[in-house]
């Protein structure tokens, strides 16, 4: 387990100074899915809370969505791509196995001089990328780091599999990290954890070195997401709540102190179960899974965008970010919103 508090108290904090998001315009509604698999709008809403999700047109890649979100974030801050020193992309749907999607984003943005890499942590990808980027700010290595969560999940979903096709959507979100100007803002603490024994419960079996692409792997649909929904749900409910409780407790806070809870949007029932355990007021919980579905690496920046749009995220607010993903991966971040 990796924790951040012993170091964050000694080093300069990183803060989020800008935010940008992008989702493709095409919608896939529950009514559309009723025509594709044996399901219903009521069944999907009751079990997931999802009403619709955004899906890319053929030929649109993760790097395309990532660039749209990144441009928006940079424009909000008035920063040029050439000012960015590092780019970190959290994704499980890279344009290709190599080069990294961060390299493709760097080139498309014109971020000459920036270096970067991808982080693969599934639904915790943005949280992990955020903390990785924050370390470069905190140590003084960089002053401007672009962190992106982006996924084209529709590229790896079997739309004849009711267990997965109703859940996922496509999208991207980006934040710019810069040094905080005082102790009252920025990233306060983080907790990360993995449990590799859960890898069999949520994965894409083929496409790597273990099972390279063959006619057999394609025929067996091994290049799509495979999920044991029951196992994932149980683990996510338990670990999201545990990680949130631990990070709040060790920093002297309770759920009632949190002004904005920004959870990964995997399932509405997971979110509400976590909030109930933390005794968190309902008006502080950001839920937008109904309109986006689970966009994997993009859910948390999209939740930040929703919170700002609805006037529920203001400068100085104590924010709690939490995610659980395939791996299993777990991440929680405590921060004060800086703008």
Each residue of 138-149: pLDDT tens digit?
999 999 999 999
Q: 43-58: per-residue pLDDT in tens?
A: 999 999 999 999 999 9
Per the annotation, the verdict on 294 as an active-site residue is yes
Distance, CA of 304 to CA of 296 (rounded, Å): 14
Q: What is the average per-residue pLDDT within 232-254?
A: 97
Q: Bridge-partner residues for 319, per DSSP? A: 260, 335
- Please list the alpha-helical segments (H only) found in 29-112: 30-34, 41-48, 62-77, 101-109
Catalytic, 142? Answer no
Q: What are 91's two structure tokens? A: 């994704």
**Nearest residue to 90 via CA among 124, 139, 58, 65:** 124
Residue 184 — very low, low, confident or very high, per pLDDT cuts 50/70/90? confident
Peptide linkage before 328 cis (omega within 30 of 0): yes
H-run or E-run covering 318? strand 318-325
From the candidates 192, 244, 294, 305, give the one annotated as an active-site residue.
294
123 carries an active-site annotation: yes
Report the pLDDT averaged over residues 96-100.
98
**336 vs 339: CA distance, rounded Å:** 9
This prediction has a pTM of 0.96
Tell me the mean pLDDT in the region 112-123: 98
pLDDT tier at 242, thresholds 50, 70, 90 = very high
Q: Is the dihedral of CA 209, 215, 219, 224 positive or negative?
A: positive
What is the rounded CA–CA span in Å between residue 17 and residue 304? 12
pLDDT > 90: percent of the chain: 95
Catalytic residue among 67, 103, 123, 260: 123
How far is the C-alpha of 239 from the C-alpha of 329, rounded, in Å?
Answer: 9
pLDDT of residue 183: 74
**pLDDT at position 157 over 60:** yes
Rounded distance between C-alpha atoms, residue 320 and residue 278, angstroms: 11
At residue 11, the pLDDT reads 74
Q: Which of 54, 142, 264, 305 is catalytic?
A: 264
Taking alpha carbons only, the member of 209, 86, 227 closest to residue 153 is 227
Asked whether 284 and 159 are in contact (CB, 8 A), the reply is: no
> Is the separation of the CB atoms in 77 and 29 below 8 Å?
no
Tens digits of residue pLDDT in 255-295: 999 999 999 999 999 999 999 999 999 999 999 999 999 99
Strands, sheet with 86-90, edge to edge from the N-terminal-most edge strand: 14-22, 170-179, 145-152, 86-90, 115-119
Rounded Cα distance between 121 and 92, Å, is 7
pLDDT number for residue 238: 97
- Model confidence at 214, in pLDDT bands (50, 70, 90)? very high
- The per-residue pLDDT of the chain, averaged, comes to 96
Q: Which two tokens stand for residue 161?
A: 């599999």
Helix (H) or strand (E) holding 21: strand 14-22
């Amino acid at each position: 387990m990796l924790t951040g508090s012993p170091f964050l108290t000694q080093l300069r904090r990183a803060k989020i100074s800008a935010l940008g998001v992008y989702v493709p315009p095409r919608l896939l509604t529950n009514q559309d899915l009723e025509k594709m698999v044996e399901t219903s709008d009521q069944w999907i809403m009751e079990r997931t809370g999802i009403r619709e999700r955004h899906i890319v047109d053929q030929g649109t890649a993760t790097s395309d969505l990532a660039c749209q979100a990144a441009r928006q974030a940079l424009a909000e801050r008035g920063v040029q791509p050439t000012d960015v020193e590092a780019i970190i992309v959290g994704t499980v749907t890279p344009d290709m196995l190599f080069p990294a999607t961060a390299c493709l984003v760097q080139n498309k943005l014109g971020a000459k001089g920036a270096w970067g890499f991808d982080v693969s942590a599934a639904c915790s990808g943005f949280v992990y990328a955020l903390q990785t980027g924050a370390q470069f700010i905190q140590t003084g290595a960089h002053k401007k780091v672009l962190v992106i969560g982006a996924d084209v999940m529709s590229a790896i979903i079997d739309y004849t599999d009711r267990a997965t096709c109703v859940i996922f959507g496509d999208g991207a979100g980006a934040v710019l990290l810069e040094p905080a100007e005082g102790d009252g803002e920025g990233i306060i603490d983080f907790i990360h954890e993995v449990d590799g024994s859960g890898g069999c419960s949520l994965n894409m079996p083929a496409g790597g070195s273990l099972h390279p692409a063959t006619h057999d792997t394609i025929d067996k649909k091994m290049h799509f997401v495979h999920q044991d929904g029951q196992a994932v749900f149980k683990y996510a409910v338990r670990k999201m709540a545990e990680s949130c409780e631990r990070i709040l407790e060790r920093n002297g806070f309770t759920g009632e102190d949190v002004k904005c809870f920004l959870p990964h949007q995997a399932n509405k029932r997971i979110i509400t179960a976590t909030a109930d355990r933390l005794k968190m007021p309902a008006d502080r919980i950001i839920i937008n899974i109904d309109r986006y579905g689970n966009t994997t690496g993009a859910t948390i920046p999209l939740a930040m965008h929703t919170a700002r749009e609805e006037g529920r995220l203001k400068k100085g607010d104590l924010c709690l970010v939490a995610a659980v993903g395939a791996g299993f991966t777990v991440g929680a971040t405590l921060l004060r919103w800086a703008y």
